[in-house]
Chains A and B, each alone.
Chain A
Amino acid sequence: MSDLPELDLEPRVAAMLPPWTEIMQYIRKSPKRQTVEVLRAAAARGRPVVQPRCGVGGHGEMRTLLTTLEQRGRPDILTITIDSFTRLKQFRSAAQTLQRDPAGLNGYPLVTHGWRRGRELNELVDAPIEVRHGSPDPRELFAVALASGFTSFEGGGIDYNLPYSKDVPLARSLAAWAQVDRLCGVLAETGVIVDRELFGTLTAVLVPPSVSLAVCLLEARAASLAGVRCLSVAYPQGGEVHQDIAALRSIPVLARRYLPEHVEVFPVLHEFMGVFPRDPDVADALILYGGLTARLGGAAKVINKTNQEARGIPDAEANVAGIRTTALACTDLLDFVRVDEATVEEETYWLQREVAELVEPVLAAPDLSAAIVEAFTDGRLDIPFSASVHARSEVIPKRDSTGAIRYLGAGRLPFSRPTLRRNEQCLRVDRASLSGRLIDEIRSDINFFVQAETRSQAARLATRAAPTRSAVTGPGGAR
């Protein structure tokens, strides 16, 4: 029976865990650098560290994957991505699939493999490992992660519920995550700092930056009240560089404004999470752009994509290339790149104002968790394209002519007149003529980078077709 403080666990999982004192001892005597130290160093240096996603079903295959990525990509932090069965606590299904067809799992079933194998993975590589998943109730997974020595754990009661589950009440996911965060508080008091990363990426499709930041700040406040000392706030690259830089640079500012002083907060960028270009060269360019955005925005960490993104889960080779391309963008190679700081400043002002209008009414309530639930029920908090019925998804995002993500419809979000007017002005849309094409327009916003790819291919074809050009290039020159 497990004696982990604060955590109520399924007896079957609890029975397999080592005693709490043994877990503490293992973590304390680990010679490895902890994630929090890696992030501190990155923040001090002003250059983001790179972390890939990776997870396969079989233990041997997972060992090979982690070793290959470490040896060939040299990321600063590694990942174990967890399979869908484990995310939903379907441990029996995970075990059955693992036995029958490990390759059929879309991640590593850590609870099924157990903490001994977890420790084996932990000791196998130099880089600290983060557990990434998507569980509305992660308690068993967190217990096994901790027993394995992993002190970096992604997710929160909003961001790992609404994009991933159809019908888990927010009150339930928030309560489950509060137990995880309270255990992190207990650990912090003994000097073990768990990096708790919040998934501001949400549904990954046209997420308005203020929605992403507002959700993370509310989760961050709940986590810090529960005792968490180290938070990574992840923001998804939207694709318009000034807006993305404004969002990343706002993370520490908003943290100082809304979170207790003793909490360390690290901005994280997820390289573009939407529909990816199919051409590997164009995909590589987008990956480089992501790394550059992370550096310009002052992120401490960037999660890389791969040039096989359009085709599904990447192989190790593509992941290594993605890590290296991203890392290249974070070196001084591209230090000459400047952006228009006045535009960033203007974005920053409006973004922080939107966030304030979203979070301040919720933070003013006496019971934060209840206030979050109520706000989502009423639509005063909302996310676009929710998989869950517990968010209204009345928010309609739309790109403006620069590619920045705005609110075409703010649903019931409590925005002021000036905020709504500013979004309106940026979009400058004729609503009457738009309504008939709404689905097409938003679909084309979602396919932003695929369309850029198509345009660039068309431009190259046109160049090749032009007679003067082909004469210059010569036969076979433009193949």
Chain B
Amino acid sequence: MTSRNTQRTVIIGVARSDAHAVANHLIAMRLREAGFLVVNLGVCTPLEEFAEALSAHPDAEAVLIGSLNGHAYEDLADLPALRAAGRLHCPVIVGGNLSVGSHKDGDERERLLRLGVDHILDDADQIPLLLDLLHAARVTPLTGV
């Protein structure tokens, strides 16, 4: 068991209009197994609640938002406003099934990145690796990131 002071914290949840619970729980399990303190906000979580959770856990390394119903862009539309208000200042990672329908032309990724999403993942198994990279970058700041 990692000691309380050094345990790494992440905030996870599913986007506002999305009620898919299974992947959310699997990711929580996977991260807990890897030693993280996981603050899981669960399904149907508005961006505002992610921001509140980050205020309550200011040491959280990242906010991970799952979106499987194709409404990621609409559900995250408040991100620029929250960031402008000085909130949700940690890396925001989005993953899942990002656009409606099976046709994915990369446009959806572009739109989410423009909104201020920091990272987009296609595979939940990449999450620990990305968190480790972000963690390392935080401990030893890289230039030009």
List A residues at the B interface (Cβ < 8 Å).
166, 203, 205, 384-389, 393, 396, 409, 435-440, 442-443, 446
Contact = CB atoms under 8 A, between A and B. Distances in A.
A439 B125 contact: yes
A387 B43 contact: yes
Nearest to A203: B21
B30 A439 contact: yes
B43 A396 contact: no
Interface in B13-63: 19, 21-23, 25-30, 33-34, 41-44
B21 A396 contact: no
B124 A439 contact: yes
Contacts of A166: 19, 42-44
A435 B28 CA distance: 13
Main secondary structure, interface of B, reads helix
A412 B34 CA distance: 19
A437 B42 CA distance: 22
Point out which of B21, B30, B42 has the most chain A C-beta atoms below 10 A from its C-beta.
Answer: B21
A205 B26 CA distance: 12
Interface core residue of A387, A396, A435 (most chain B CB under 10 Å)? A387
Given A387-B43, A437-B125, 10 more contacts: A166-B42, A203-B21, A386-B21, A386-B25, A393-B25, A409-B29, A435-B30, A436-B125, A438-B29, A446-B22
Contact of B21 (A387, A436, A442): A387
A396 B42 contact: no
B31 to A, nearest CB: 10
A207 to B, nearest CB: 12
Contacts of B19: 166, 387
A439 B28 CA distance: 10
B22, B28, B41, B42 pick with most chain A CB within 10 angstroms: B22
A438 B33 contact: yes
A145 B124 CA distance: 44
Contact of B42 (A205, A387, A436): A387
A443 B21 contact: no
A446 B23 CA distance: 11
Nearest to B26: A439
B34 A385 contact: no
B69 to A, nearest CB: 14
A393 B23 CA distance: 12
A444 to B, nearest CB: 12
6 contacts: A386-B21, A387-B43, A437-B125, A439-B23, A439-B125, A440-B125
A6 B124 CA distance: 49
Nearest to B32: A394
The 9 closest A-B pairs by CB, nearest first: A439-B26, A387-B21, A385-B25, A385-B22, A435-B33, A385-B21, A393-B25, A389-B42, A166-B44
A409 B25 CA distance: 13
Of B23, B29, B43, chain A has the most CB atoms within 10 Å of the CB of B29
A17 to B, nearest CB: 32
Q: Which of B25, B34, B125 has the most C-beta atoms of chain A within 10 angstroms of its own C-beta?
A: B25
A383 to B, nearest CB: 10
Contacts of B22: 203, 205, 385, 446
B26 A443 contact: yes
Interface in B118-136: 124-125
A205 B23 CA distance: 11
A384 B26 CA distance: 10
A85 to B, nearest CB: 15
A384 B21 CA distance: 10
A387 B14 CA distance: 11
Nearest to A446: B22
Given A386-B21, A387-B19, A435-B34, A442 B26 contact: yes
B97 to A, nearest CB: 14
Q: Which of B23, B26, B125 has the most CB of A within 10 A?
A: B26
